[in-house]
């Protein structure tokens, strides 16, 4: 990670264009055994994925959807997949992310963190009710509450003492709703019946 140790390997072969239904941003690389998959997407056709080559430098498959919210502007982005106890947990940010100080969205339309899970990293994701996440399924992992507003931009890491920890950005209503006022938050995840909560 030190300056001067990076090597430019060029484009991976996934780009946005008017002929495609995905937006090639918000990438998340996941190692699955000796293989790699890359998840990405923002609005448009929501979350997509490609298989990567063994060096994780080039895409090795066509893009395929792993999550889709069919209503409105399809406001899903920023996917992150985390493996835990036999399942791959697909998380994403859903709703309006920004500009709360100038154009606050209707209640419930601001950012929230959603989730689905599968025994495969490459698809078959369902929510806590068994709804397919390719047809609008998704369970809420974290949403606005108290002074926490619009949590999103999430990831999960394994802490040596706390176990799985969810991290994200959010607006604190006592501090300010402007994009530059967002704060960093984290919560230790609790587990019940194979699903995380905060």
Convert the pLDDT of each residue in 70-114 to its tens digit.
Answer: 999 999 999 999 999 999 999 999 999 999 999 999 999 999 999
CATH 3.30.460.10 is held by the domain 28-197: no
Question: Can you list the alpha helix ranges (DSSP code H) found in 3-152?
Answer: none
3-class SS letters over 112-129 = EEEEEEECCCCCCCECCC
- Pair of tokens at residue 33: 């055994």
pTM, two decimal places: 0.96
Query: Distance between CA atoms of 95 and 104, rounded to whole angstroms?
Result: 12
What pLDDT, in 10s, does the model give residues 125-156?
999 999 999 999 999 999 999 999 999 999 99
Distance, C-alpha 86 to centroid of its chain: 19
> In this model, does residue 1 exceed pLDDT 90?
no
Which 8-state DSSP code applies to residue 108?
Answer: T
pLDDT, position 58: 98
Q: Which residue in 150, 123, 149, 151 sits closest to 135, CA to CA? A: 123
Any residues with CB less than 8 A from the CB of 38 and at least 6 apart, and which? 12, 14, 27, 28, 29, 30, 49, 50, 52, 56, 59
What pLDDT, in 10s, does the model give residues 156-174?
999 999 999 999 999 999 9
What pLDDT, in 10s, does the model give residues 28-50?
999 999 999 999 999 999 999 99
């Amino acid at each position: 990670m030190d300056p001067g140790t990076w090597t430019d390997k060029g484009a991976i072969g996934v780009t946005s264009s008017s002929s495609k239904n995905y937006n090639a941003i918000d990438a998340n690389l996941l190692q699955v055994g000796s293989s790699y998959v890359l998840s990405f997407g923002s609005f448009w056709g929501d979350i997509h994925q490609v298989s990567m080559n063994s060096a994780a430098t080039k895409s090795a498959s066509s893009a395929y959807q792993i999550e889709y919210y069919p209503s409105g502007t399809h406001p899903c982005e920023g996917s992150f997949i985390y493996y835990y106890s036999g399942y791959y947990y697909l998380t994403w940010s859903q709703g309006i992310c920004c500009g709360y100080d100038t154009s606050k969205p209707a209640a419930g339309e601001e950012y929230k963190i959603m989730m689905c899970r599968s025994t495969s990293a490459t698809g078959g994701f369902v929510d806590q009710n068994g709804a397919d996440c390719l047809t609008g399924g998704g369970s809420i992992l974290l949403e606005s509450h108290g002074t926490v507003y619009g949590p999103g931009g999430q990831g999960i890491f394994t802490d040596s003492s706390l176990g799985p920890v969810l991290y994200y950005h959010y607006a604190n209503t006592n501090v300010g709703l402007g994009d530059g006022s967002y704060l960093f938050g984290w919560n230790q995840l609790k587990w019940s019946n194979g699903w995380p909560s905060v």
